[in-house]
Amino acid sequence: MMQPEDVRAALVTIARTEQAVRRTVLRWTVAPTLVTWGIVWLVGYLGTLFLARTALTYLWAGLVALGFAVTFGLQVFYERRVRSPIGRRIDLSWLVASGYLALWSSLLFPRDPHIASFVLVTGIMAGYVLIGIWLTRLMLVLGLFVTAVATIGFLLGPAAFALLVGLLGGGALIAGGLWLWWSGRDDAR
């Protein structure tokens, strides 16, 4: 029979292992995903200010394809290494949310691209906030910050929205990803 001290030591070991696995998963999947989407937003939204509609459509199509390829490629690669029921549910949740966001954007973009962009950004950030509630506070902070930036930009008009979401929103995603990467290193503890 285990003594109370042995039980406490085992629970501490389990908690440390759980924390180490979580840090590793965040470092190798969430961090590069945030950096990728931050670059997509930075280039895409700033391109919105300078490119004609046809070129802009091609730019966004390529950037979004790149973002999804990196995101789902990382998930598939690391899902083989770390099996987690919650990870699969999160992936499925993002897939469902992406479907809804695609539906909304296909209906809204022809009518009003400015509103459509706002709905997309804030819809994605709602997902970040929800993930932040469950997994890591950084996602909560990023979601709320980018939502505030997008709301201010939306109220100021399309050019301000593109500039603010591109620079501050994309920049926040890049910074958040780099912070997760750096803080997830074994020697960063």
pLDDT digits (tens, 9 = 90+) for 136-168: 899 999 999 999 999 999 999 999 999 999 999
Compute the residue count for the chain: 189
Query: Half-sphere exposure (CA, 13 Å, Cβ side) for 77?
Result: 11
Terminal C-alpha separation, the chain: 34
Indicate the pLDDT class of residue 188, thresholds 50, 70 and 90.
very low
Indicate the pLDDT class of residue 28, thresholds 50, 70 and 90.
low
pLDDT at 11: 77
Instruction: Give DSSP secondary structure letters for 64-103.
Output: HHHHHHHHHHHHHHHHHHS--HHHHHHHHHHHHHHHHHHH
The total number of structural domains that make up the chain: 1
Collapse the DSSP code of 111 into the 3-class scheme (helix H, G, I; strand E, B; otherwise coil) and give the result. coil
> Minimum mean pLDDT among 6-10, 117-121, 147-151, 185-189: which range?
185-189
pLDDT at 151: 98
Q: What digits encode the pLDDT tens for the residues 61-70?
A: 999 999 999 9
Query: Residue type at 47?
Result: G
Q: Tokens for 110, please give them.
A: 């022809």
pLDDT of 19 over the 80 cut = no
* Residue 112 main-chain phi, psi, to 5 deg: -155, 95
- The pTM (predicted TM-score) of the whole model is 0.83
| Residue 131 belongs to domain spanning | 4-188
Q: What digits encode the pLDDT tens for the residues 85-142?
A: 666 777 788 889 889 998 998 899 889 999 999 999 999 999 999 989 988 899 999 9
Q: Find the mean pLDDT for residues 76-91.
A: 69
